Structure 1
């Protein structure tokens, strides 16, 4: 099992830069990195780096880019202009991925329907997501780029449980569309283990590793900031069960990527954060994920 680093871990560390992430992830033994769009956009806008410089770096080093994380809020658009904007963003991300040698784009569902006066049913959300993803595949397939749908475990998200995300992926029925299994998101809205245990592991493209505090399912303060290092004091997630289940259903992603948004971890230096992330991820793989 290879190991990956997601820039969520250190994106607000003092002096953060994407290029530093690449150098430090290489130094501490990561195989892959998920580059966060906000980190990349911040550095590009500041003139710290160019896409071509990053692409050249990846071409000459062991570390590779696992995913572009992410195209956010892709579904449930009301106007043609909104729909066109999503596809234009996808076109730009594909252009970037071609330069960076990246073959995966994570797509995140829309949220806060109530603020827009909408109350869509699960059926309506599924049908809309399937239609949009099918259009996205037409753009991505010629470039050999896959789409990984990430359900997000909070009440306001339109796709917030594994069962719904998996049903959408099955309905799209393309080898270019799978899903991201984030352990925290699976826990936070009470996704069903029975659904995961019956799933086809080949449809799971990305595995996000994290721990979390033991908080009530779906409550307003159960959020990304409560994530923590897996197996840290207070972590409630059943890591062996996640790993064993993924092995049993045939997960072929061959990578476990650590993704944590804990504010106190942003007080670390960028190097301290990445060193600790590597230590924790390697220990997790050695203990649970030898497959």
Structure 2
């Protein structure tokens, strides 16, 4: 079954320095924290070692969940134009930088995405992901693809095909509820995937009707679990039935996360998420 020791996705609070996120996350009831590569690299540039960063996180009772994300790993990423959204940032998120930073801080895994919308062939994506997994394995890390409906790996079927073709024991999937539902991914397919290939689960909610621009919606209009229209109880039950024991992180991007104090915004997130999980398991 999915772990109920919830983590907080740091990607929702990049405007808050990493060390300032720790107390609010702990006080809200979170037990883990995902990090970005720049969270680690920026503090190292200030003279704080990765070992010290990790120690400060653990001193707050928080586990390091994953480093999110690697954004430049396909050959076609290097050919994508500068007009792509966040192109410069994504090109800096290379496998080497992210994996080495994750290893230094003691993270167990790294998330892999395509947000440049390059639509790779299966052969290209499988070869690139296999190489990335081998690099991660040398550091004792797992790697997991997160599909996104506005990217070149748009749904569960396409991400799972890459993982299967790459055929690496440390390769797997990130399943984000927003991307799962907005991409129209299949519960039937999800039910067939062995839970040990699902390395990370992210949970959130959304209104029934999608926005006209999915990327804009995902970055500004996510809701707290239980406040939207997603069938999260079925989502949780399906993942439980696969034998998935992956950590669950709450990942919510909204105008509220940027406009209000972090401690105020997140204080009810764990309780709301636990209520949804309990509803799924009591049914």
Q: Is residue 240 of structure 2 the alignment partner of residue 247 of structure 1?
A: yes
**Aligned position for 2:222:** 227
Aligned to 1:70: 69
What CA distance in whole angstroms lies between the structure 1 residues aligned with 2:174 and 2:256? 25
In structure 2, relative to structure 1, the CA distance for the partners of 1:40 and 1:214 (3 Å cut) is farther
Aligned mates of 1:73, 1:37 — CA distance in 2? 13
Pair 1:29-2:34 in alignment? no
CA contact (8 A) 1:105 1:147 kept: yes
Q: Which residue of 2 aligns with 1:117?
A: none
More displaced stretch, 91-100 vs 281-290: 281-290
Could you tell me how far apart the structure 2 residues matched to 1:78 and 1:211 are? Answer: 30
Query: Over the residues paired in the alignment, what is the CA RMSD in angstroms?
Result: 2.8
Give the distance between the partners of 1:163 and 1:20, measured in 2 at CA: 38
Task: Give the CA deviation at 1:48.
Answer: 9.0
Give, in angstroms, the shift of residue 261 of structure 1.
0.8
- Is residue 104 of structure 1 aligned with residue 109 of structure 2? yes
Partners of 1:151 and 1:162 within 8 A in 2 = yes
Alpha carbons 2:172, 2:198 under 8 Å: kept: yes
| Count of aligned residue pairs for this structure pair | 268
| Partner SS for 1:212 | coil
Alpha-carbon separation, structure 2, partners of 1:277 and 1:37: 24
Partner Cα distance (2:102, 2:214) in 1:
35
Give the CA deviation at 1:43.
5.4
Residues 28 and 268 in structure 2, CA contact (< 8 A), matched pair in contact too: no
1:236 Cα deviation (Å)?
0.9
1:143 to 121, 139, 142: 139
Task: Show structure 2 runs of 5+ residues with no match.
Answer: 82-89
Give SS of 2:110's match: strand
Q: Cα distance, 1:78 vs. partner?
A: 6.6
Q: Which residue of 2 aligns with 1:284?
A: 276
Quick check: 2:144–2:171 contact (8 Å CA) kept in 1? yes
1: CA distance between counterparts of 2:260 and 2:232? 25
After TM superposition, the structure 1 = structure 2 runs for residues 188-203 of structure 1, keeping only pairs within 5 Å, are: 188-203=182-197
Change (3 A) 1:141 1:112: closer
What is the CA distance between 1:184 and its match in structure 2?
0.4
CA-CA distance at 1:107 after TM superposition? 0.7
**Among candidates 202, 212, 217, match of residue 206 of structure 2:** 212
* Matching residue of 2:10: 7
2:94 corresponds, among 71, 89, 95, to 89
